[in-house]
Amino acid sequence: MLSQNRTFDANTAGGSPFGDLPEWDLSDLYPGQDSPEIKRDMDWLETACADFADAFEGKLADLDAAGLLDAVLRYEKIDIVAGRIMSYAGLSYYQMTTDAERAKFMADCQDRITAYTTPLVFWGLEFNRLDEEHLDWVLAESADLARYKPVFDRMRAMKPYQLSDELEKFLHDQSTVGAAAWNRLFDETIAGLTFTVDGEELNIEGTLDLLTDADRSRREAGAKALAEVFGQHVKTFSRIHNTLAKEKEIEDRWRGMPTPQTGRHLSNHVEPEVVEALRNAVVEAYPRLSHRYYKLKAKWLGLDRMEVWDRNAPLPMETTRVVGWEEAERTVMEAYAAFDPRMADLAKPFFDKGWIDAGVKPGKAPGAFAHPTVTEVHPYVMLNYLGKPRDVMTLAHELGHGVHQVLAAGQGELLSSTPLTLAETASVFGEMLTFKKLLGAAKTKEERKTLLAGKVEDMINTVVRQIAFYDFECKLHAARSQGELTPDDINALWMSVQAESLGDVFDFMPSYETFWAYIPHFVHSPFYVYAYAFGDGLVNALYAVYEESGESFKDKYFDMLKAGGSKHHKELLAPFGLDASDPDFWAKGLGMIEGMIDELEAMED
């Protein structure tokens, strides 16, 4: 089977089993690593940062509205230039993380930019010391300055937790040898892993893909290969997690953060009680969602008990076919266009202009993402496309991110970035549009059943599994605050959330306890994962409003995406009659999943 060979270069002249897969054209950022444009921008950045500090350090309290606006615009330009360089370096690196030259280039860029921007640390600290009355006065004096108020509000939310200027500069300066270095070690370790399955050597993407193979023996072989290799490297992964969690605990303690999660909530501009309400609603719904669904799935698979390698198994009635790239593109574009032609128009350049890197290649980072780069350029989407129906949904998801990022770019660099809790809105909505299109075209009961079951599984992975991940992280950081954790300690924490979230129909093979090791979010973005559940619940509620209101929904939806990070979630959701702080809000979203499981159970009668 072609789908079993995961180490080919998908973009060689011979093409791939899925058609001609696109590859990034990064020249919209820079022509190459040695281009004079990078040297020009690096030189400009060094001078601009020094000039900014000379012009404004120790003087913010004396600035009038025009002076403060000038400072904001100059800071924003610095942000754009630094972001452009690091976007190019990072995207190039993720194409081949095992390439020493790319790794060196990214590290050198990071080192230089960190050094150049260290003089800017005063900006947020001094801004937070501004008198409230003075700030209100300058904002009232200038509408152009007042539009940045959401940025200022987020900065000032950190005021209770900021350290001395000297300590903040130290933390900024040493960041490249702190979390960033451990992140890089994780990425390079993961990308370099190889797994032997039935005599074939695979990378991590290819081996994880076996967990969705129709052949149960292949799924089992893939799971056992993962467990064996994770076990061999568990000390390295344990060291990475121990170090990052301890580093976070030290910094949080110095800042006076009340919980390990506080920093994430602040950056997401979401109240802790809203996240807690989401978490509690999902955990309380485990029996009605994942436990009930997996019992149905066990029945369909003809199993009394399920193993972990059966969780994402295709259903017996599911057709095992390869979805070519052209079909995937057509499916998603038609779904987007059926919602609104503007959505398809925004998505089209991703396919036509080299904004997607789709193929699986040796050394390429695993997974998928959409990176917004900077507002003066455009986003890039990375996939590891393997021709599975779920890969089509991944394309719809990441393309939704890309469309959102394009629309939000109109806000400018400082206001375009969307908090993680809202950043998943367009991506999950894009998936829902694609799913609904396919469901509407289903010709038989079995086809409808397959589509419904696939969507339920995706939602369980997005909601139930991510909240279980969040609970694991909460337990990990709490335990690490009490002392060093052995690999067995971390394994035990991982297993403590698995049975609870998946249900009693599952058995867990020996060594499954190490499967926490490859989850990148735990390393790169602590507590990120609840954003997926937040986004899924939010989109379920939004989609219900769309089905009720039709055409009047669309302009409001585009306005929400265009807002980027310029509005709080309460303000963004108000036009739709929704409020994430309402305890019933999450119940509605979970109710949509429950309704789909109800329909699946009814099909059994």
Q: DSSP state, 61?
A: G
Residue listed under structure tokens 């950045």: 45
pLDDT value for 204: 92
Dist CA 223 CA 227 (whole Å): 6
Q: What is the distance of C-alpha 318 from the center of its chain? A: 28
pLDDT value for 1: 22
Distance set, CA 521 to CA 28, 183, 391, 449, 531 (Å): 28, 10, 20, 32, 11
Tokens of residue 48, six digits: 């601009």
Q: Which amino acid makes up residue 180?
A: A
With 0-12 CB in 10 A as exposed, 13-18 as middle and 19+ as buried, what is 81? buried
- Res. 279: pLDDT tops 80: yes
pLDDT value for 2: 23
Dist CA 568 CA 555 (whole Å): 19
Cβ atoms of residues 267 and 275 within 8 Å = no
With 0-12 CB in 10 A as exposed, 13-18 as middle and 19+ as buried, what is 1? exposed
Q: Domains of the chain: which residue ranges? A: 31-177
Question: Residue 384 — left, alpha, or beta (φ > 0 → left; ψ -120 to 50 → alpha)?
Answer: beta
DSSP string, 410-434: GG-HHHHPPPHHHHTHHHHHHHHHH
| Mean of pLDDT values over 157-163 | 92
Least confident of 17-21, 86-90, 276-280, 504-508: 17-21
| Mean of pLDDT values over 264-270 | 90
pLDDT value for 583: 74
Write down the mean pLDDT value for the chain.
92
Least confident of 2-16, 106-120, 206-220, 362-376: 2-16
| Mean of pLDDT values over 413-440 | 90
Tokens of residue 85, six digits: 């360089």
What's phi and psi for 382, nearest 5 deg?
A: -110, 135
- Quick one: which of 546, 576, 544, 540 has its CA closest to 560? 576
pLDDT value for 424: 86
| Res. 264 pLDDT band, cuts 50 70 90 | very high
| Res. 306 pLDDT band, cuts 50 70 90 | very high
Q: How many CA atoms lie within 13 A of 403 on its CB side?
A: 33
| Res. 11 pLDDT band, cuts 50 70 90 | very low
| Mean of pLDDT values over 366-385 | 95
pLDDT value for 605: 63
Reported as a single tens digit per residue, the pLDDT across 20-66 is: 899 999 999 999 999 999 999 999 999 999 999 999 999 999 999 99
pLDDT value for 15: 54
- Res. 13: pLDDT tops 90: no
Reported as a single tens digit per residue, the pLDDT across 215-248 is: 999 999 999 999 999 999 999 999 999 999 999 9
Residue listed under structure tokens 């039935």: 198
Q: How many residues does the chain have?
A: 605
pLDDT value for 477: 98
Cβ atoms of residues 300 and 600 within 8 Å = no
Reported as a single tens digit per residue, the pLDDT across 327-358 is: 999 999 999 999 999 999 999 999 999 999 99
Q: What is the distance of C-alpha 75 from the center of its chain? A: 26
Cβ atoms of residues 344 and 554 within 8 Å = no
- Quick one: which of 75, 582, 601 has its CA closest to 288? 601
| Helix/strand/coil (H/E/C) assignment for every residue in 266-323 | HHHCCCHHHHHHHHHHHHHHHHHCHHHHHHHHHHHHCCCCECHHHCCCCCCCCCCCCC
Residue 375 or 604, more confident = 375
Sheet strand arrangement including 380-382? 356-357, 380-382, 369-371
Reported as a single tens digit per residue, the pLDDT across 550-604 is: 899 999 999 999 999 999 888 999 999 998 888 788 988 899 999 999 999 998 8
- Res. 7: pLDDT tops 50: no
What's phi and psi for 164, nearest 5 deg?
A: -65, 160
Q: How many CA atoms lie within 13 A of 602 on its CB side?
A: 9
pLDDT value for 210: 95
CATH architecture under which domain 31-177 falls: Up-down Bundle (1.20)
pLDDT value for 93: 94
Q: How many CA atoms lie within 13 A of 230 on its CB side?
A: 23
| Mean of pLDDT values over 524-550 | 91
pLDDT value for 8: 27
- Quick one: which of 575, 551, 552 has its CA closest to 563? 575
Dist CA 374 CA 513 (whole Å): 39
- Res. 5: pLDDT tops 50: no
